């Protein structure tokens, strides 16, 4: 109940500002199209620009905005995959049938654990927002089988971890935790590495789709 109270005390505008981030990432997971994915990444970049809950220096926040803009550019790119056939609806349904219950269950477990911590309202909101964004990133990773658009998932995982780390730093009296921006550095490295892998896969294998891996032969 304490965690619920931390959110019910907010104005509708504040709720939209905060909850719009995980909702946008979730929409990118269930809605098809590279333009949709790019638009979501741009929307998240705008949202992160005003996300005071990051509790990070301005250069760290600017780094997150830049990362999401790069993700928008990369995930919206056609790449080298040409006009290959997309996965069947049956395959997408099977992936969703497994991913949705698993992802939602994990998010609920994280929120239940946070509700038992007795955090202040601001820290409870920050930590639960991090858990929601983390869960949305996991859902995106499990639902979308397009390797280029997985960049959205990896950026979301990093942003969620950044918020959770910010909440942990607020309660860290010894100041022995990771510094602000550590999650950003990890997300930058992961997005850069994934971009290289996706580019090579599209160029030499002809498809960015994970489901096409079984068709590759020596």
Cα dihedral 116, 117, 119, 121 sign: negative
Answer whether residue 85 is part of any domain: no
Among positive and negative, which fits the CA dihedral 35, 39, 40, 45? positive
Assigned domain for 86 exists: no
Reply yes or no on whether the pLDDT at 59 is more than 70.
yes
Q: Count of CB atoms within 10 A of residue 2's CB?
A: 14
> What domain range is 54 assigned to?
2-78+91-215
The predicted pLDDT at position 85 comes to 43
The percentage of the chain sitting over the pLDDT mark of 70, rounded to a whole number, equals 66
Using CA atoms, how far apart are residues 126 and 181, in angstroms rounded to an integer? 16
Radius of gyration of the chain (CA): 18
Quickly state the pLDDT bin for 175 (edges 50, 70, 90). low
Those residues whose C-beta lies under 8 Å from the C-beta of residue 44, and which sit 6 or more positions away, are 21, 24, 25, 68, 155, 156, 159
Question: Is 53 domain-assigned?
Answer: yes
Answer yes or no: pTM beyond 0.85. Answer: no
- 152: in domain: yes
Residue at 138 is within a domain? yes
Q: Does 186 fall in a domain?
A: yes
Within a domain: residue 84? Answer: no
H or E stretch at 121: helix 121-143
- pLDDT value for 114: 60
Give CA–CA dist 132/127, Å, rounded. Answer: 9
Q: What band does 204 get if pLDDT is binned at 50, 70 and 90?
A: low
Q: Is the pLDDT of residue 36 over 90?
A: no
Residue 9 has pLDDT above 90, yes or no: no
Domain count, the chain: 1
Residue 169 lies in a domain: yes
CA distances from 90 to 51, 93, 94, 95 (A): 39, 5, 6, 9
Give residue-wise pLDDT tens across range 62-115: 999 999 999 998 887 765 444 444 444 444 444 555 556 666 666 666 666 666
**Least-confidence region, from 23-27, 53-57, 61-65, 89-93:** 89-93
Interval 139-170: pLDDT, tens: 888 776 667 778 898 999 999 999 888 887 76
């Amino acid at each position: 109940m304490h965690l619920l109270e931390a959110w019910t005390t907010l104005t509708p505008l504040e709720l939209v500002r905060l909850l719009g981030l995980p909702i946008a990432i979730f929409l990118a997971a269930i809605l098809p199209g590279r333009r949709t994915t790019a638009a979501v990444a741009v929307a998240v970049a705008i949202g992160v620009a005003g996300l005071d809950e990051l509790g990070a220096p301005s250069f760290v926040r600017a780094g997150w905005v830049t990362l999401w803009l790069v993700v928008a550019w990369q995930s919206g790119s056609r790449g080298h995959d040409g006009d290959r056939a997309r996965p069947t609806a049956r395959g997408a349904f099977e992936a969703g049938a497994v991913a949705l219950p698993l992802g939602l269950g994990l998010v609920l477990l994280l929120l239940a654990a946070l509700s038992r911590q007795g955090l202040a309202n601001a820290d409870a909101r920050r930590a639960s927002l991090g858990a929601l964004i983390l869960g949305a990133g996991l859902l995106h990773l499990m639902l979308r089988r397009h390797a280029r658009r997985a960049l959205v998932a990896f950026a979301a995982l990093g942003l969620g971890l950044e918020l959770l780390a910010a909440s942990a730093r607020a309660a860290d009296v010894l100041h022995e935790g990771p510094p602000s921006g550590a999650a950003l550095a990890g997300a930058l490295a992961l997005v850069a590495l994934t971009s290289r892998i996706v580019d090579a896969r599209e160029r030499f294998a002809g498809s960015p789709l994970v489901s096409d891996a079984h068709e590759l032969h020596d």
